[in-house]
A = this chain, B = another copy of it.
Amino acid sequence: MCSRPPVPREPLRRVAVTGGTHGNEMSGIYLARYWLQAPRELQRPSFSAVPVLANPAATAACRRYLGRDLNRTFTSTFLTARAHPDDPYEVTRARELNQLLGPKASGRAFDFILDLHNTTANMGTCLIAESAHNVFAMHLCRYLQLQSSELPCHVFLYQSPGEESYCVDSVAKNGMGLELGPQPQGVLRADLFIRMRALVAAALDFIQLFNQGTDFPAFEMEAYRTVSHVDFPRTEAGDLAGTVHPQLQDRDFEPLRPGAPIFQTFSGEDVLYEEESTVYPVFINEAAYYEKGIAFLQTEKLNFSVPTLPALAPTPTPTP
């Protein structure tokens, strides 16, 4: 459920940039660590952004998580249940982050969380927002697209209708994820590090422009929204019986048409895409999704109008 207001009514004063929500996605981990030592880079005239290393224990172990996926743990079930000694580490950590950056859905929550991720899939630069209804996030996506026009910069809407938000950025009043790939788990590539750093800087610039009273005109947006998940072909015992077809591998965001091969089995047969409609696969062959039974996500491409983001009414500058 999206209970966030689509447009902020006041300047965003409390912003967090979270890295290491998954402990083996290195761009955000090393950016957060760097900014914790040198926070000036995240400073803007109207606000300061706080860097947060979201899952320090998993980061130390260079694993996605220790007990359960932290970025699926920010639901009311986990955040409000009574603490128990047997709670997985990430449940405890989600509650700590909820205290630090939330509480979720409260007036005391941070105004914005920008959450930094990597994928092993060939996703390029992907901006992850909950839904098209979040006008502020859509304008931020548009701003980032215009700033990085030499590279494609896709917008992915992750939330299914009626689904409760579960990501770390859902703790704040507003938020978004950056997903850069391909990068192997545990590897820090300079090109992606530089690109992510530039995207974070541009996102903070956008918030600064909004805070100082800029209005952003309406525009037409193209985005991708999840339709369904597709698992690998499997044996009767549940083991993999094949993997992503060479003709689908690395083709994230490209159209997949009926009859095209999607898997190649170990015995050499092609498995074809047999649905009737063209879809746009994303997160193709993402390492972290094997355990979730996901070889790729099928998305549909949407085109929709995003209304004007109106300028804030002038407010007094906060005293330093």
Residues of A within 8 A of B (CB): 30, 33-34, 38, 62-63, 120, 182-191, 193-194, 239-240, 243-246, 249, 264, 266-267, 285-288, 290-291
- Determine the residue in chain B with the shortest Cβ distance to A247: B190
Residues of B within 8 A of A33 (CB): 239
Residues of B within 8 A of A287 (CB): 184-187
User: Are A249's CB and B184's CB within 8 A?
Assistant: no
> How many copies of this protein are present in the complex?
2
With A184-B187, A188-B285, A189-B243 given, can you name 9 additional A-B contacts, CB distance below 8 Å? Answer: A30-B266, A184-B184, A184-B287, A187-B285, A188-B240, A189-B285, A190-B245, A191-B246, A193-B266
Contact pick for A190, options B187, B194, B239, B244, CB 8 Å: B244
Given contacts A62-B290, A243-B193, A290-B62, contact A34 B266 (CB under 8 A): yes
Given contacts A30-B266, A33-B239, A266-B30, contact A249 B186 (CB under 8 A): no
In the bound assembly, the distance between CA atoms of A286 and B187 in angstroms comes to 7
Residues of B within 8 A of A183 (CB): 184
Contact pick for A120, options B62, B187, B194, CB 8 Å: B187
User: Are B30's CB and A190's CB within 8 A?
Assistant: no
User: Are B184's CB and A30's CB within 8 A?
Assistant: no
A264 shortest CB reach to chain B, Å: 5
User: Are A190's CB and B249's CB within 8 A?
Assistant: yes
Given contacts A191-B246, A249-B190, contact A240 B30 (CB under 8 A): yes
In the bound assembly, the distance between CA atoms of A243 and B29 in angstroms comes to 13
**Can you name 5 A-B pairs with beta carbons within 8 Å?**
A30-B243, A33-B239, A63-B63, A187-B285, A187-B286
Q: Which of A63, A188, A194, A264 has the most CB of B within 10 A?
A: A188
Q: Which 10 A-B pairs have the closest CB atoms?
A: A184-B184, A186-B287, A120-B184, A188-B243, A187-B287, A34-B266, A190-B246, A190-B264, A190-B243, A191-B246
Residues of B within 8 A of A194 (CB): 246
Q: Which of A182, A287, A291 has the most CB of B within 10 A?
A: A287
Given contacts A34-B266, A191-B249, A249-B191, contact A186 B243 (CB under 8 A): no
A239 shortest CB reach to chain B, Å: 7
In the bound assembly, the distance between CA atoms of A189 and B246 in angstroms comes to 8
A299 shortest CB reach to chain B, Å: 20
User: Are B249's CB and A189's CB within 8 A?
Assistant: yes
Residues of B within 8 A of A267 (CB): 38
Residues of B within 8 A of A185 (CB): 184-186, 287
A7 shortest CB reach to chain B, Å: 35
Residues of B within 8 A of A291 (CB): 62
- Determine the residue in chain B with the shortest Cβ distance to A64: B186
Given contacts A191-B249, A246-B191, A249-B191, contact A288 B186 (CB under 8 A): yes
In the bound assembly, the distance between CA atoms of A184 and B120 in angstroms comes to 7
